[in-house]
Structure 1
Amino acid sequence: MADTKKVFVFDDNRDILDLCTFILEDAGYEIKTSESANDIETQVSAFMPDLIFMDNWLPDLGGIQATRAIKSNPDLKHIPVIYFSANNDISSLADEAGADSYLSKPFDIAALEDIVKKHLS
Structure 2
Amino acid sequence: MAEGSDVTGVKVMVIDDSNTIRRSAEIFLAQAGYQVLLAEDGFDALSKISDHHPDLIFVDIMMPRLDGYQTCALIKKNPRYAGTPVIMLSSKDGLFDRARGRMVGSDEYLTKPFTKDSLLKAVSAHTAARVIK
Same-fold status (TM-score > 0.5):
yes
Out of 30, 33, 36, the position equivalent to 1:31 is 36
In the TM superposition, residue 42 of structure 1 has moved relative to its aligned partner by 2.4
- Detail structure 1 runs of 4+ shifted over 3 Å in the superposition: none
In the TM superposition, residue 70 of structure 1 has moved relative to its aligned partner by 0.4
In the TM superposition, residue 39 of structure 1 has moved relative to its aligned partner by 5.6
CA shift digits 1:41-95 (9 cap, x unpaired): 3221111000000100111011101100000001111110001101122422321
TM-score by length of 2: 0.85
1:5 aligns with 2:10: yes
Q: Gapped runs of 5+ residues in structure 1?
A: none
- CA distance in 1 between partners of 2:39 and 2:47 (Å): 12
1:45 aligns with 2:54: no
The one-letter amino acid paired with 1:25 is A
User: How well do the aligned residues superpose, as a CA RMSD in angstroms?
Assistant: 1.7
User: Equivalences for 1:61-100 in 2 at 5 Å?
Assistant: 61-89=66-94, 90-100=97-107
TM-score by length of 1: 0.92
The one-letter amino acid paired with 2:99 is S
- Percent identical pairs in the alignment equals 34
Deviates more, 1:94-103 or 1:50-59: 94-103
Classify the secondary structure of the residue corresponding to 1:38: helix
In our comparison, the structure showing a higher alpha carbon Rg is: 2
Name the structure 1 match of 2:131: none
- CA distance in 2 between partners of 1:86 and 1:29 (Å): 24
- CA distance in 1 between partners of 2:18 and 2:83 (Å): 26
Matched length:
121
Name the structure 1 match of 2:65: 60
